[in-house]
């Protein structure tokens, strides 16, 4: 994976971030979702590099090979605001003062926060398979609670760790043929690490509490995404089934929003890398 990419660790005040980066040209930062690592981009990143972009793929704090701060009762160390500050610092360390940004799943919440908190850094943003957390919570229905029950299970203290760590392979599953053997091996190593599992749960715990409050405060203050915004969603996942056209909701958050569905299951970077790369390259032009 990631032929000709460099790997390094960026040591920050609260975290230690593992990052892959390669290419030459305008920079784009790619942020993975749960329970993946930066390796999820292994079929997309080379396509962007071949078209003249510098591509940066970090593991979010606590995920994969990155490490975050000690866990606390308020979950503050795993807010999207803290993760976004990591990403801003990583890009600064790598010499990128302004860059494009794309995030999938949990990474999309970090990308949203990074764009809202540091608008001078982000030239354009692509958000995949997501709505703002506060928008999900404002629309809770029986259908949502049945499909997305894991949000509320992960928010419980202690029990999720005990359940998941009893058999992480069965919990997280994954398919090496679909994911690619090396990506699968990296994902499996991460999900067998109880510290990574706890950090991923802290991400969700911060999400429905602190992160949702941060988003509501943004809305009250009139903060929006001012840069061009691309919304992509997996047609074989359930975002459109739950809410109809996601662009309708995102227009309440962004000035310049466009997007479409991708014929894929949830992990589109692995399942539909060509279609995803084409969508990103068209947006980046």
Element (H, E) at 77: none
For 166-187, give one letter per residue: b (16+ CB within 10 A) or e: eebeeebebeeeebbeebbebb
Which of helix, strand or coil describes residue 61? coil
Residue 268 lies in a domain: yes
What's the rounded Cα separation, in Å, for the pair 74 and 149? 21
Q: CB-based burial of residue 216 (10 Å sphere; 0-12 exposed, 13-18 middle, 19+ buried)?
A: middle
Domain range for 260: 6-284
pLDDT digits (tens, 9 = 90+) for 190-200: 999 999 999 99
Q: CB–CB of 258/230 below 8 Å?
A: yes
pLDDT digits (tens, 9 = 90+) for 56-90: 999 999 999 999 999 999 999 999 999 999 999 99
Say which of 32, 42, 59, 105 is annotated catalytic. 105
Residue 120 lies in a domain: yes
Which of helix, strand or coil describes residue 97? coil
Active site residue 105: yes
Residue 1 lies in a domain: no
Residue 201: closest CA among 159, 155, 152: 155
Beta strands in 26-74 (DSSP E): 27-31, 54-58
User: Got the DSSP string for 158-204?
Assistant: SHHHHHHHH-HHHHH---HHHH-HHHHHHHHHHHT-HHHHHHHHHHH
Tell me, what's the pLDDT at 39?
A: 98
Tell me, what's the pLDDT at 141?
A: 93
As a 3-state breakdown, the chain gives helix, strand, coil percent values, each rounded to 5, of 50, 20, 30
Q: CB–CB of 156/19 below 8 Å?
A: no
Domain total of the chain: 1
What's the rounded Cα separation, in Å, for the pair 149 and 147? 6
Q: CB–CB of 238/197 below 8 Å?
A: no
pLDDT by 10s per residue, the chain, length 285: 999 999 999 999 999 999 999 999 999 999 999 999 999 999 999 999 999 999 999 999 999 999 999 999 999 999 999 999 999 999 999 999 999 999 999 999 999 999 999 999 999 999 999 999 999 999 999 999 999 999 999 999 999 999 999 999 999 999 999 999 999 999 999 999 999 999 999 999 999 999 999 999 999 999 999 999 999 999 999 999 999 999 999 999 999 999 999 999 999 999 999 999 999 999 999
Say which of 34, 118, 219, 266 is annotated catalytic. 266
Residue 71 lies in a domain: yes
Residue 271 lies in a domain: yes
Tell me, what's the pLDDT at 55?
A: 98
Element (H, E) at 280: helix 273-284
Instruction: Write the CATH number for 192.
Output: 3.40.50.1820
């Amino acid at each position: 994976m990631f032929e000709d990419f460099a790997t390094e660790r960026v040591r920050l005040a609260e975290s230690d971030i593992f990052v892959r980066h390669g290419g030459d040209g305008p920079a784009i930062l790619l942020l993975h979702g749960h329970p993946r690592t930066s390796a999820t981009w292994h079929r997309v990143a080379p396509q962007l590099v071949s078209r003249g972009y510098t591509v940066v793929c970090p593991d979010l704090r606590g995920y994969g090979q990155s490490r975050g701060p000690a866990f606390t009762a308020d979950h503050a160390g795993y807010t999207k605001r803290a993760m976004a500050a990591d990403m801003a610092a990583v890009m600064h360390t790598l010499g990128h003062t302004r860059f494009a940004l794309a995030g999938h799943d949990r990474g999309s919440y970090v990308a949203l926060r990074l764009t809202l908190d540091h608008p001078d850094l982000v030239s354009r943003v692509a958000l995949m398979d997501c709505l703002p957390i506060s928008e999900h919570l404002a629309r809770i229905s029986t259908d949502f609670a049945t499909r997305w029950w894991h949000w509320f299970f992960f928010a419980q203290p202690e029990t999720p760790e005990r359940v998941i760590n009893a058999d992480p392979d069965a919990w997280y599953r994954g398919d090496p043929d679909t994911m690619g053997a090396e990506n699968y091996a990296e994902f499996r190593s991460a999900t067998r690490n109880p510290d990574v599992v706890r950090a991923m749960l802290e991400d969700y715990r911060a999400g429905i509490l602190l992160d949702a409050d941060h988003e509501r405060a943004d809305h009250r203050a009139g903060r929006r995404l001012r840069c061009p915004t691309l919304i992509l969603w997996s047609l074989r996942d359930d975002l459109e089934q739950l809410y109809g056209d996601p662009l309708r909701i995102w227009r309440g958050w962004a000035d310049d929003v466009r997007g479409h569905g991708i014929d894929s299951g949830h992990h589109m970077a692995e399942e539909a890398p060509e279609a995803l790369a084409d969508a990103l390259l068209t947006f980046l032009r």
